[in-house]
A and B are shown apart, each in its own frame.
Chain A
Amino acid sequence: MILFFLTSGLFLGWSLGANDASNVFGSAVGSKMITFRKAAIIASAAVILGAVLQGAGTSDTLGKLGAVNAIGGSFTLALAAAVTVYTMTKFSLPVSTTQAIVGAIIGWNLFTGNRTDSGTLSKIVFTWISGPVLGALFAVLLYILIVKIKKASKIHLFRFETFLKAGLIAAGAFGAYSLGANNIANVMGVFVPAFNLQEIDLGIITLSSAQQLFLLGSIAIAAGILTYSKKVMETVGANIVELSSEAALVVVLAQSLVLFIFSSSGLSNFFVRIGLPPIPMVPVSSSQVIVGCVIGIGLWKGARNINFRLLGEIGIGWIATPIMSGLLAFFSLFFVRNIFNIDVGQKVIAGAAPDPVVTSDPAVSEIVRYILLAVLITGFIVALYYYLLDRKKKRELRVSEDKFWHYLK
């Protein structure tokens, strides 16, 4: 039953994987620099690593916005966010999972009578604007740098393109890692305060309760990438690649940096140590950051055909998504509590420590352990299968090549 409540979060994770993986590997796949299969495998592994190793920071921020203290509440919020994302996508409106989940949390706060922390909220809203702006800035700086290096080094186009290809794969993997670290909070953040699972000791690392949830969420994201992101990647890639291959790399790199910055507690601590204000750990929308990056490069190159309609739509998305998701969450919570008689959370008394309703359940941790094992074994088998398939293809190609040159002689 407990695992059933997680399904809405897993669904949200799946849709996030299907949509947002295109932002990190779209340009590489769209330009045929890397096959979808390779991109999907790299992205899936990197997303899982990012979420498990570095996903805590952004989840804490969402927890501060509203500590959903009942599993029924978490389920309803994730479902409301998922339905909002699905509906807005259906109407081709640019939508961010982050904004949907923030709206849903505010809806929960309103429903349960909890106060929404205006400081945390303003911090989150600030990053929605600063994310794309920072993305644009990074993109312009990186673009200038890469063009200068290319000009100064007089590198052969083929060699440069080969470096770009390697760069796109590395940046894509970094992007997927950052995506996992930054956006896992959207998928599993609402479940964290409501769960208290037993730790799993894997020998090398120990998975805490939150990390186990992040692992499940990131597996859902990986499933989204593997099963549904191909078409999106090819479409997004074709649109971005219009820029040029170096611009495509810059866009992915800039976007990854922004996502990384807003999810790296180490970097934030370093800022504090050198006397700068800390970086807010907030989930940001990768799609909106990428639009910022593309517009940044476009402006730098003197493009006059900036799509202001798209900017307007993003602006509408900033307002419409949280409102729609918030309202949906509010009414859904009402139904879940009054019709299905499920606890969706209560008002947190000031000063009292949040009390998780779901306490340690060894069975859940056991299931997580098995899922982890299954994922590792499946991953290994799939990687081996594709490696052998690739080798066979290459061998066949070599034979056909030899035949071709033999007969040509």
Chain B
Amino acid sequence: MALFKRTTKDLIIKIDEFFDNVELGLLVFRESMKSYIDKDMEAFNRHLQKVDTLEGNADKLQRSIENEMITHSILPQHREEVIRLIDEIDEIMDTVKKSLNEFIIEMPEIPAALNKDIVSLADASASAAEELIPAARAYFITPYTVREKLLKVYYFESETDKIAIRTKKRIFQEMNEIDLAHKAHLRYIIHHIEAISDMAQKAADRLAAMAIKIVI
């Protein structure tokens, strides 16, 4: 029985470690965006490598958590939901890595006028995902506080949307000096950054429902 083994303790540590990885990944994402805007490619590459390692760790931890929860029949009633939540949070890390890879492959040229917008977009999007982590941690300890914590996720997600729309409007309506292909490329890059907060919102919706279920 799990009570008399280290399984439960190990699993708690693994979940915490998983969240730590994601939080760190988001922090590095923020920094890497700043490096890209500052055209410091060396730092950007270093950050990308770090994100790659963190994403790999998160993947391993996710598999291990899923495996142990099933093998040791831990939390049988809510297991499926917890596994899906962790899967969705892992997808955030995947999206972070994918976005940074898009930058290194496509090397989008960001006009200087958009520097501030892109940095705030990346900030807001990463914040939405970052705010998800304390809420997800709270699910396991104080589930009745999850919903209030999630409010910040929704706030930053809507901020991301607003910044993205504003930036896209600027690109397509005000910046006549760049050609349509460049505009389309920038829109594509913005979509990628936005995707992080969208994923966070999706996970937040699931977490909100899970929290109600566990509290009732």
A-B contact number at CB 8 A: 55
* Partner among B3, B15, B140 whose Cβ is within 8 Å of the Cβ of A165: B3
B7-20 to A contact mask, C-beta < 8 Å, 1/0? 01001100100000
Cβ of B25 within 8 Å of any chain A Cβ, yes or no, is no
CB distance from B210 to the nearest CB of A (A): 11
* Partner among B2, B12, B76 whose Cβ is within 8 Å of the Cβ of A31: B76
User: Interface residues of B, CB < 8 Å — how many?
Assistant: 25
Cβ of B101 within 8 Å of any chain A Cβ, yes or no, is no
B142 touches A159 (CB 8 A): no
Within 8 A of A (CB), among B1-51: 1-3, 8, 11-12, 15
Within 8 A of A (CB), among B60-74: 60, 63, 67, 71, 73-74
Cβ of A327 within 8 Å of any chain B Cβ, yes or no, is no
How far is B68's CA from A397's CA once the two chains are assembled, in angstroms?
11
Set of chain B residues within 8 Å of A155, measured between Cβ atoms: 141
Set of chain A residues within 8 Å of B216, measured between Cβ atoms: 244, 301
How far is B64's CA from A408's CA once the two chains are assembled, in angstroms?
11
Closest to A401 in B: B67
* Partner among A154, A157, A165 whose Cβ is within 8 Å of the Cβ of B1: A165
* Partner among A157, A404, A408 whose Cβ is within 8 Å of the Cβ of B75: A157
Set of chain A residues within 8 Å of B141, measured between Cβ atoms: 154-157
Cβ of A125 within 8 Å of any chain B Cβ, yes or no, is no
B76 touches A163 (CB 8 A): no
Cβ of A166 within 8 Å of any chain B Cβ, yes or no, is yes
Set of chain A residues within 8 Å of B76, measured between Cβ atoms: 31-33
How far is B77's CA from A31's CA once the two chains are assembled, in angstroms?
7
Within 8 A of B (CB), among A135-175: 151, 154-159, 161-163, 165-166, 169
Set of chain B residues within 8 Å of A151, measured between Cβ atoms: 144
A156 touches B12 (CB 8 A): yes
A158 touches B8 (CB 8 A): yes
Closest to B76 in A: A32
Set of chain B residues within 8 Å of A162, measured between Cβ atoms: 1-3, 8, 74
Set of chain A residues within 8 Å of B2, measured between Cβ atoms: 162, 165
How far is B139's CA from A179's CA once the two chains are assembled, in angstroms?
37
Within 8 A of B (CB), among A255-270: none
B142 touches A154 (CB 8 A): yes
Set of chain A residues within 8 Å of B78, measured between Cβ atoms: 157
Set of chain A residues within 8 Å of B142, measured between Cβ atoms: 154
Cβ of B214 within 8 Å of any chain A Cβ, yes or no, is yes
Cβ of A241 within 8 Å of any chain B Cβ, yes or no, is yes
A157 touches B8 (CB 8 A): no
How far is B143's CA from A397's CA once the two chains are assembled, in angstroms?
33
A158 touches B11 (CB 8 A): yes
How far is B71's CA from A193's CA once the two chains are assembled, in angstroms?
52
A32 touches B3 (CB 8 A): no
Cβ of A245 within 8 Å of any chain B Cβ, yes or no, is yes
B114-154 to A contact mask, C-beta < 8 Å, 1/0? 00000000000000000000000001111110000000000
CB distance from A364 to the nearest CB of B (A): 41
Closest to B2 in A: A162
Set of chain B residues within 8 Å of A156, measured between Cβ atoms: 12, 140-141
Closest to A159 in B: B8
A157 touches B140 (CB 8 A): yes
How far is B145's CA from A154's CA once the two chains are assembled, in angstroms?
11
Set of chain B residues within 8 Å of A159, measured between Cβ atoms: 8, 12
Set of chain A residues within 8 Å of B3, measured between Cβ atoms: 162-163, 165-166
Set of chain B residues within 8 Å of A244, measured between Cβ atoms: 77, 214, 216
Closest to B137 in A: A156
Set of chain A residues within 8 Å of B73, measured between Cβ atoms: 32-33
How far is B63's CA from A376's CA once the two chains are assembled, in angstroms?
44
Within 8 A of B (CB), among A202-258: 241, 244-245
B71 touches A397 (CB 8 A): yes
Closest to A167 in B: B3
How far is B3's CA from A404's CA once the two chains are assembled, in angstroms?
25
Closest to A157 in B: B140
Set of chain B residues within 8 Å of A32, measured between Cβ atoms: 73, 76
Interface, chain A (partner B; CB < 8 A): 31-33, 151, 154-159, 161-163, 165-166, 169, 241, 244-245, 301, 397, 401, 404, 408
Interface, chain B (partner A; CB < 8 A): 1-3, 8, 11-12, 15, 60, 63, 67, 71, 73-78, 139-144, 214, 216
The contact sample of 5 A-B pairs, CB cut-off 8 A, is: A33-B76, A157-B140, A157-B214, A397-B71, A408-B63
Beyond the given pairs A154-B142, A165-B3, 4 more chain A to chain B contacts, judged by CB atoms under 8 angstroms and listed by A's residue number, are A32-B73, A159-B12, A165-B2, A169-B1
Query: What are the 4 tightest A-B residue pairs by CB atom distance, in nearest-first order?
Result: A157-B140, A32-B76, A162-B3, A166-B3
